[in-house]
Structure 1
Amino acid sequence: MKFLRDLRSILQQRKKDSLNPINPELLSIHIPKTAGRTFREILKSQYGVNGVLSLDHYYLTKQNEQLADHPTDRYPVIHGHLPYRQISKVALPSSKYITWLRHPVDRVISNYYHYRDSVFPAKQKRNPSAQLVSIEDFIERPKRRNKMSQYLEGIDLEALFFVGFQEQFKEDVVRLGRKLQWRISELPLQMRVNENKRTKQSAPSLPEELIMRIRKCNEKDLALYEKAKQLSEKGFWS
């Protein structure tokens, strides 16, 4: 009898597996300030609102949860601020990794103004005595340095299914769409790339000395970015 029960269970599972695709298909690593919110909407346009599980490590830490605590096998796409070492824990051998990069200097500057204009005001409401961190101190903090390398630690660029660049966002979305046989329309491609227009208009021009300091603090990211650009120009992710 036990044998028959086990056999019935195996057959039921096989039937279930045949009706449902093997998920997750895509693992989208959203490095901060690299057009990730726009890309999330494009993913939803292709896989449906209920086809994209959007999470980040900040939320998981706050909730004292692990990514595996969520039903990741129900979603074809997982997207969010999830470093490779975290998101890979729910990967399948067939899962494809995708990420977007941005020139490190531009990414760090954008990250700081996002902190200054959005994150800090919210923090100050909770704690009126909170002090705004200057950009000079911000760029020196270890967790703010080489952020792209931090997110991709543990995986080689060549192992990624696709790497796009914010500077050529529309063209790269089209290239990715061809690889995945997406139905590309102009509408999602017109959505805002992850930039804050008010910030760009009000941000003072930064002195060259500060730019050089940002480069010095992000040498690993600069090397990563240049290698990725070279691979892309050779057609590696086409």
Structure 2
Amino acid sequence: MSLSALGRKDVLYFFVHVQKTAGTSFLQRAVYSNFAPEEICSGVRIRTFRKALKPSHRFAHGHVAYGLHWLTRRPVVYLTFLRHPVDRAISHYYFIRQCDPRLCRHDRYEAATLMDLVTFYRQPQFRNEMTMMLAGIFWHKLQAYLAHPAFGQRALRQACFNLRHRFACFGLQERFEDSLQLFAHTLGWRMLPQDVRLKQTRARPKLEEVPFALYQELARLNDLDMVLYRYACRFFAERMRQRIPLTFTS
């Protein structure tokens, strides 16, 4: 797919929403100011995507890995946000624990309440979330069953390739305002000026407060995400310098 697809009337923008990467703030600042409510398909799930997607939908988002273009004939333009892996891991863990099960039943709530932070991320299915989601649906679904290092390295290569060639634009949580500028420049969107911060995780240690040993262990357990994030930071800096649209393929 080339950037010419952005001008097509049937194009569908899909936001790969990796949890705790400023996705909700991105929706508030960038998406709701450019798409009407009836044009947005929210909370996408793989099993129900085809039934939920309507011709009027121009934007969709959900905690779903790259690959929904296999389920529709419409051209799909992918977007996402990333975050420092250790910071994201801590925020995600504490966010799950703080979910009120009476109001919202997170599918990892039981695991997070029964395990400490490190034990939680020692479970293969909870590691390297950014890498597996950017690599694709296949990789994301199999990560709990294929723990061999060769699987992880292949997923990492695929995630890096997809980020560079198959995502129209991406942002970094740590450079949120710059990211919005990049989205505006690439897609021609207008951004809301106010600083909206939603769904912030309470009572969690800040990254700079994390003991070095704990930081090292979380980085080790999310080693693929660490490599992907460093790659993304270099690529983001390149994009900010050039201020030119990505060339991406399907």
SS in 2 for 1:210: helix
The runs of 5 or more residues in structure 1 that have no matched partner are 1-19
1:211 to 201, 212, 215: 215
2:98 to 109, 117, 138: 117
Residues 22-65 of structure 1 deviation map (CA, whole Å, 9 limit, x = unaligned):
141x11100011011111223122112222111144xx6xxxx3
Moved more, 138-147 or 42-51: 42-51
Give 1:149's aligned residue. Answer: 131
Give 2:34's aligned residue. Answer: 46
Q: Does 1:195 align with 2:200?
A: yes
One-letter identity of the residue aligned with 1:178? H
Give 2:155's aligned residue. Answer: none
Trace 1:177-192 onto structure 2 (pairs within 5 A).
177-187=184-194, 190-192=195-197
Task: Kindly indicate whether the alpha-carbon contact (under 8 Å) linking 1:102 and 1:166 is maintained by their aligned counterparts in 2.
Answer: yes
C-alpha displacement at 1:90, in angstroms? Answer: 3.6
Task: Kindly indicate whether the alpha-carbon contact (under 8 Å) linking 2:185 and 2:243 is maintained by their aligned counterparts in 1.
Answer: no
* Equivalent pairs, count: 205
CA distance in 2, matches of 1:168, 1:78: 23
One-letter identity of the residue aligned with 1:224? L
CA distance in 1, matches of 2:74, 2:185: 22
Residues 59-102 of structure 1 deviation map (CA, whole Å, 9 limit, x = unaligned):
x6xxxx331121243211011111113x2334557421111000
C-alpha displacement at 1:179, in angstroms? Answer: 1.6
SS in 2 for 1:152: helix
Q: Does 1:172 align with 2:179?
A: yes
C-alpha displacement at 1:185, in angstroms? Answer: 3.3
Give 1:22's aligned residue. Answer: 10
SS in 2 for 1:28: strand
The runs of 5 or more residues in structure 2 that have no matched partner are 1-7, 137-158, 245-250
Identity of aligned residues (%): 25
Give 2:81's aligned residue. Answer: 100
* TM superposition score normalised by structure 1: 0.75
CA distance in 2, matches of 1:182, 1:46: 6
CA distance in 2, matches of 1:102, 1:194: 15
Larger Cα Rg: Structure 1 or Structure 2? Answer: 1
Give 1:32's aligned residue. Answer: 19
SS in 2 for 1:216: helix
One-letter identity of the residue aligned with 2:90? I
- Looking at secondary structure, tell me which structure has more helix per residue: 1
Give 1:8's aligned residue. Answer: none
